[in-house]
């Protein structure tokens, strides 16, 4: 994976922050130029005589979606990894209720949080008040969190994407979204025309002069549709390419014993571990939480349909040389345990040596994990407890998507 540049959020974080300002600048610039700094224009969306909000937003979604899908088909990004990183998990009911509430707030305030910032920046006091309101609202939520906390965590479906739901490849869904967008845009033009005619007839002269959108050229619209259509075709075309090449898309990553040990302790619910050794050997002793499925029976699991988003970890007797065909179609990330089960035995099932008083924090940390593994797997005397997991289930994820948090 070439993109994204991981280092910008890790050891070059400071440069990432500079990039943040540049990206935010472009974001704000485009929003203002689209007219999103003016509440009457935004509110007009809900009175149907100016559908700018819909057009800009849907157009942006389609552009970015087709772009990212094409990039991922070209092998430049890993779609699912990126998506899991950049979006929050789906909490279906909180999101539906939150969306409804946000829509109500939107029509009352005339802005959404992002556009209120743009409005404030261009001197509109109503925008400033809205932004201050958003700050206050977030604070109220934090204060009252105990009241909401159960609903906040309700109906967590994990990372689910439309292509999982529809059991279709992502490019096909993206292309379908693009086509749907074009149809919706055509419809929006008609709706816009109808309602602004109606408004004109109602005799409110204020509108003709101030609020009604200028008629834009057809050329821009048609070329936009053509671009979307072309990109959708490209996306579908790349799909045929990858199908012909067979399942080349899942290339397995190596996973060290220490990483597996840590993840088994801290977040077993994010792992699907499959032990490929002979069933007897596996039943005797195995990595905690793993399924015993000998290599020959792997196809019976239908791994390509597992949409739980967990990481698949394959454990062989010793190092596996390649990913079995049945596992290569797994939708999530696939890891191969380094040195296989033999490595695990010497790592987790032999007592670790105490690192001594002068050890670095890293060494102490890895000792703790090994000691905890060793004691929990062999029943030996309880070693010092491992550091507790960062927080409760849902919040351990690195803060992803835009506004989360």
| Window 203-232: residues binding other proteins (CB under 8 A) | 204, 206, 214, 216-217, 220-221, 224, 227
Name residue, tokens 């404030």.
120
| b/e map 292-309, b = 16+ CB within 10 Å | bbebeebeebebbebbbb
Contact 274, 316 (CB under 8 A): no
Considering the complex, state which of residue 26 and residue 351 has its C-beta at the smaller distance from other proteins: 26
Q: Find the binder of other proteins among 26, 180, 349, 351 (CB under 8 A).
A: 26
Q: Find the binder of other proteins among 73, 75, 150, 165 (CB under 8 A).
A: 165
Give the Cα-Cα-Cα angle 379, 382, 384 (nearest 5 degrees).
145
Q: Find the binder of other proteins among 73, 118, 323, 335 (CB under 8 A).
A: 118
| Distance in Å, CB of 78 to other proteins, minimum | 10
Helix (H, G, I), strand (E, B) or coil at 94: helix
Q: Which residues, including other chains, have CB under 8 Å from residue 374's CB and lie 6 or more apart?
A: 348, 349, 350, 351, 352, 380, 383
Residue 153 makes contact with other proteins by CB under 8 A: no
Residue 82 makes contact with other proteins by CB under 8 A: yes
Residue 98 makes contact with other proteins by CB under 8 A: yes
| Distance in Å, CB of 131 to other proteins, minimum | 7
Contact 167, 306 (CB under 8 A): no
Residue 178 makes contact with other proteins by CB under 8 A: no
Mark residue 335 as left, alpha or beta (left: phi above 0; alpha: psi -120 to 50; beta: remaining): beta
Q: What are the backbone dihedrals phi and psi of residue 156, each rounded to the nearest 5 degrees, phi first?
A: -80, 115
From the list 172-180, 324-332, 333-341, 356-364, the region that binds other proteins by CB under 8 A is: 172-180
Q: Find the binder of other proteins among 74, 138, 241, 387 (CB under 8 A).
A: 138
From the list 235-243, 298-306, 381-389, 394-402, the region that binds other proteins by CB under 8 A is: 394-402
From the list 13-21, 256-264, 272-280, 368-376, the region that binds other proteins by CB under 8 A is: 13-21
Residue 350 makes contact with other proteins by CB under 8 A: no
Q: For residues 168 and 155, what is the distance between their CA atoms, to the nearest angstrom?
A: 24
Residue 38 makes contact with other proteins by CB under 8 A: yes
Q: Find the binder of other proteins among 159, 277, 310, 339 (CB under 8 A).
A: 159
Name which of 289, 270, 61 is nearest 184 in CA terms.
Answer: 61
| Binding positions for other proteins, 227-286, rule CB under 8 A | 227
Name which of 255, 289, 316 is nearest 373 in CA terms.
Answer: 289
Q: Find the binder of other proteins among 5, 194, 237, 240 (CB under 8 A).
A: 5
Residue 4 makes contact with other proteins by CB under 8 A: yes
| Distance in Å, CB of 73 to other proteins, minimum | 14
- Parallel, antiparallel or unpaired: strands 253-255 and 271-275: unpaired
Residue 347 makes contact with other proteins by CB under 8 A: no
Q: Which two tokens stand for residue 338?
A: 């380094």
Q: For residues 137 and 371, what is the distance between their CA atoms, to the nearest angstrom?
A: 45
Q: For residues 259 and 231, what is the distance between their CA atoms, to the nearest angstrom?
A: 40
From the list 58-66, 234-242, 269-277, 360-368, the region that binds other proteins by CB under 8 A is: 58-66
Helix (H, G, I), strand (E, B) or coil at 254: strand
Q: Which two tokens stand for residue 164?
A: 């999982």
Considering the complex, state which of residue 19 and residue 241 has its C-beta at the smaller distance from other proteins: 19
Residue 58 makes contact with other proteins by CB under 8 A: yes
Residue 27 makes contact with other proteins by CB under 8 A: yes
């Amino acid at each position: 994976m070439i993109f994204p540049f991981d280092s910008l959020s890790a050891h070059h974080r400071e440069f990432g922050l500079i990039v943040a300002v540049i990206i935010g600048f472009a974001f704000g610039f485009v929003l203002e130029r689209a007219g999103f700094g003016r509440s009457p224009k935004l509110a007009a969306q809900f009175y149907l005589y100016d559908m700018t909000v819909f057009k800009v937003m849907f157009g942006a979604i389609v552009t970015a979606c087709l772009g990212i899908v094409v990039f991922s088909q070209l092998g430049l990004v890993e779609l699912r990894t990126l998506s899991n990183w950049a979006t929050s998990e789906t909490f279906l009911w909180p999101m539906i209720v939150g969306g409804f509430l946000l829509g109500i707030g939107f029509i009352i305030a005339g802005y959404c949080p992002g556009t209120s910032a743009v409005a404030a920046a261009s001197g509109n006091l109503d925008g400033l008040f809205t932004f201050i309101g958003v700050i206050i609202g977030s604070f109220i939520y934090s204060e009252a969190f105990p009241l909401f906390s159960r609903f906040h965590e309700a109906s967590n479906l994990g990372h689910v994407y439309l292509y999982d739901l529809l059991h279709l490849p992502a490019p096909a869904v993206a292309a379908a979204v693009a086509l749907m967008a074009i149809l919706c845009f055509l419809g929006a033009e008609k709706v816009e025309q109808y309602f602004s005619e109606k408004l004109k007839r109602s005799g409110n002269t204020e509108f003709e002069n101030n609020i009604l959108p200028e008629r834009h050229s057809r050329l821009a619209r048609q070329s936009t549709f053509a671009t979307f259509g072309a990109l959708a075709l490209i996306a579908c075309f790349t799909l045929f390419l990858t199908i012909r090449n067979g399942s080349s898309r899942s290339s397995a990553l190596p996973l060290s014993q220490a990483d597996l040990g840590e993840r088994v302790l801290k977040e077993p619910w994010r792992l699907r571990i499959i032990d490929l050794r002979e069933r007897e050997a596996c039943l005797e002793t195995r990595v905690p939480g793993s399924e015993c499925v000998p290599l020959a029976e792997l196809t019976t699991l239908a791994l390509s349909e597992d949409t739980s988003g967990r990481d698949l970890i394959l454990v062989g007797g010793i190092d596996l040389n390649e990913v079995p065909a049945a596992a290569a179609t797994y939708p999530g990330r696939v890891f191969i345990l380094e040195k296989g089960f033999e490595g695990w035995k010497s790592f987790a099932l032999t007592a670790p040596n105490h690192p001594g008083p002068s050890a670095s924090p890293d060494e102490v940390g890895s000792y703790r994990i090994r000691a905890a593994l060793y004691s929990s797997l062999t029943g030996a005397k309880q070693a010092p407890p491992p550091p507790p997991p960062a927080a409760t289930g849902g919040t351990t994820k690195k803060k992803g998507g835009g506004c989360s948090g």
